[in-house]
Structure 1
Amino acid sequence: MKIRQIMIASLLLFSGTKALAQPERVSVWDGFGDNVYMDAGVGVQALFAPGWQDIAFGKQITPALNLGVGKWITPFWGLHLDVFGYSQNGYRGTPLDKGVEPFSPLNRVDVGYDGSFRYYLRYLGVRADFRLSLLNLITGCEREGALYDLVPFAGMGYKHAFAYRGTTRENLFTGHVGVRNRFSVHRLLDVNVDVVSEWTDNYVNPTKGRYMASVALSAGVSVYLGRRAFRKPVITVPVEAVRYRVDTVLVREVEVPGKDRVIGRVNADRSKWNVVMASIRFSVNRNKPNEGQETQLYEVARFLHDNPGAAVCVEGYADATSGSEAYNRELAGQRAEYVKKQLVDKYGVRSSQVTTKTVGTDVQPYKGEPVWNCVALIRLVK
């Protein structure tokens, strides 16, 4: 059979073959500093202890401050920790008709004409929460560069209320839920509008209820300390992912039509063939191939069945960065023999069509990718 006819046959057999190299995916933990941000906010809040409706709402408004740090673990969820506090106003309505004495231990409080009195609360707290990127979840992907996102969150924390103007010192566990409206104004800067509802044990008016709640509305900014987008999975296709077009050998670098790069041209002279038909990869120190490469062996076997005058040489290689030279040479030979045995025993190729060659570490076919050199190349030689 003429050389040209063999090349055309190989085109028909291999043109639809996809790259079988395993994709090298970058973990979200690679570059842990990515998607880390610091935020700060200022706003107003109101405490809703039992009986709050008896007091004018405007008198309950106090400042709310927070400073925090967070990280998006994936495009869909993240963690956040912040310090918050300053002041809240608590009230107890008409206590005198209940026989409650406002001046013990609450001295120096403001007492209204109707007998109600005001607590001056000063506090500092820390809280942690779990956050979701709601719009990323809905779309099922990272909306990199999106202007707006809705971020619900929930968590728990701790609050210390200081003894101040008659109020007692208290240590309280807190729970909270909220939502952040996040506006991306720069690749490293967000503007946020947060609404947070918090609840704690009620020490302001325990005679009327066990718990009390507060609601805060604040505006702030988030500053990203590094890269804010997630690293995309990197799919690296090595040179063995070849396909043939008449007399041209190409490598598909990405799964995009028209992006094949010519890596060589096959000369009609048999002595200058040496076309790599397949590359069977192994793990370090292993003489059996990695899983998922069976189709490469099948296609080589089919080609040899259809072209009984053709022959291949299986070359065994090893990674030069680990192990002794003698050990690597023995391992490379075992790899080549194993691939030949698969072709002959499993796929029925005639033994005379397959030879082996031990290269070891004398040649490293994949520069800059040491692990790829744990390989057996199936080279078309006849």
Structure 2
Amino acid sequence: MKIKKIIIIALLLITGAGISAQNEKDYSIWKDFDNNLYVDGGIGIQTLFTSDWKELSFGKQLTPSFHLGIGKWINPFWGIHLSAYGYSYNGYRATPLGEMEPFSPLNNVDLDYDGTFRYYLRYMGLRADFQFSLLNMIASKERPDKLYDLVPFIGFGYMHMFPYRGTTKENMLTGHLGLRNRFSINRYIDINLDLVGQISDNYMHPVKRKYATSLAVNAGVSFYFGHRTFRKPVMYVPVEAVRYLNDTIFVREVPGKEKVIEKVLANRANVVMASIRFDLNDYIPRKGQETQLIEVARFLNNNPDAVIRIEGYADATSGSRHYNKELGQKRANRVKQILVDKHSVNADQIKTISIGDNEQLYDDDSTWNCVAIIRLIK
């Protein structure tokens, strides 16, 4: 049994490491530890499946449960979760009088006249789980605007049984398999609906059944700290360097020009060309940024095959998520309108998207996130 557990744990670690390595080139983790870190808690009902469990009525099979935990997403595809859980199980044993095992932990339980008895278990457990974002894995990318996610998890743990009404204290290892339905309310809060299965040694009646299993349904809440999204590595280079690559006029020298161009060649589709700032709750660009738009327009007009994407952002400290989503789109649309109407750029060369407050690019000053990022994508 120990060998099987070691193999299972090793496979889990290898799987997690493989997923992490697969996406390491494409995704970077925010440097602060509290990003993608969350705490959660919940309550629910559970039932214990052991020998003779069907002898109890359905209502008496159900008992309350609770859990408190902390977790962290390592990348958009997998994470880890640690939790404490427990409270109570109800069980039933139809053992004829005189047939109790000599060292059974239930020997001190009061028997009914026919030798049967109902027992009550009080317990506390700790478990460690690997969790996976199934929908992100299917899409092979992060979905920053997701309102729902399906999160399967698997892990192992430890459970302590307290002496209670004739039962003795026991310690045992456990295995877990579950599924979390995660509903995003805003950037800080998720509502969770969990289905959790558990397997452990059946110390209540090992002769009749070697393992005991349980099933729990829990509802709970998660609270996130810091950022909740991952972002691809971004390379900020002057527009002139991009224009130089495309055999257009190089206006002025760029420090370390050769190294900049080498990096752009390696990752041209992820180059930020300009950052256009806005006042709070406004979608008209601030004054003094005309030269950035002129350079972007000149590059697009000289390179008709090039395509840019304008990403509209908003400050997360003001406005609702819906409002900031609309504001981000207005900012992106406004920049596109200026490039098309004022600088005669082909509208087909410009795509727009609203990020809203789902991602905050700047931590030093929240108002810096009132911005539209112009990114070269082709």
* Bin of the TM-score, shorter chain as denominator length: 0.5 to 0.7
1:79-118 aligned within 5 A? 79-93=80-94, 95-96=95-96, 99-100=99-100, 106=106, 109=109, 111-112=111-112, 114-118=114-118
One-letter code aligned to 1:85: G
The structure with the largest helix share of the pair is: 2
| Secondary structure class of the residue paired with 2:257 | strand
Over 3 Å counting, the alpha-carbon distance change for 1:179 and 1:275 in structure 2 is closer
The match for 2:74 is: 73
Shift of 1:102: 11
| Cα offsets for 1:191-240 (capped at 9, x unmatched) | 00000000110111112011100000010000001111113321222466
The match for 1:140 is: 140
Of 242, 259, 262, the residue aligned with 1:281 is 259
The match for 1:53 is: 54
The match for 2:172 is: 172
Q: Whole-Å Cα distance in 1 between the matches of residues 73 and 107 of structure 2?
A: 47
Q: Is the 8 A contact 2:110 2:166 kept in 1?
A: no
One-letter code aligned to 1:179: L
Shift of 1:33: 1.6
| Cα offsets for 1:55-111 (capped at 9, x unmatched) | 222211111110000001010100000000111112212x11672389986477464
| Secondary structure class of the residue paired with 1:280 | helix
Alignment RMSD: 3.4
Over 3 Å counting, the alpha-carbon distance change for 1:104 and 1:47 in structure 2 is closer
| Cα offsets for 1:273-308 (capped at 9, x unmatched) | x767992239xxxxxx989979xxxxxxxxxxxxxx
| Secondary structure class of the residue paired with 2:60 | helix
| Secondary structure class of the residue paired with 1:91 | strand
Q: Whole-Å Cα distance in 1 between the matches of residues 126 and 74 of structure 2?
A: 21
TM-score by length of structure 2 reads 0.57
Shift of 1:116: 2.2
One-letter code aligned to 1:198: Q
Q: Whole-Å Cα distance in 1 between the matches of residues 242 and 186 of structure 2?
A: 42
The match for 1:214 is: 214
Asked which structure has the greater RCO (Cα within 8 Å, sep 6+), the reply is 1
Q: Whole-Å Cα distance in 2 between the matches of residues 106 and 49 of structure 1?
A: 14
Q: More deviation in 51-60 or 103-112?
A: 103-112
Q: Is the 8 A contact 1:35 1:226 kept in 2?
A: yes
Q: How many residues align?
A: 242
Q: Whole-Å Cα distance in 1 between the matches of residues 43 and 175 of structure 2?
A: 20
Matched, 1:44 2:45: yes
Q: Whole-Å Cα distance in 1 between the matches of residues 133 and 37 of structure 2?
A: 15
The match for 1:184 is: 184
| Secondary structure class of the residue paired with 1:50 | coil
Q: Is the 8 A contact 2:108 2:167 kept in 1?
A: no
TM-score by length of structure 1 reads 0.57
| Secondary structure class of the residue paired with 2:236 | coil
The runs of 5 or more residues in structure 1 that have no matched partner are 1-23, 251-263, 265-273, 283-288, 295-382
Over 3 Å counting, the alpha-carbon distance change for 1:240 and 1:164 in structure 2 is same
Shift of 1:113: 6.0
Larger-gyration structure (1/2): 1
Q: Is the 8 A contact 1:242 1:277 kept in 2?
A: no
1:1-382 aligned within 5 A? 27-28=28-29, 30-93=31-94, 95-96=95-96, 99-100=99-100, 106=106, 109=109, 111-112=111-112, 114-238=114-238, 241-243=241-243, 249=249, 264=251, 279-281=257-259
Q: Whole-Å Cα distance in 2 between the matches of residues 60 and 106 of structure 1?
A: 18
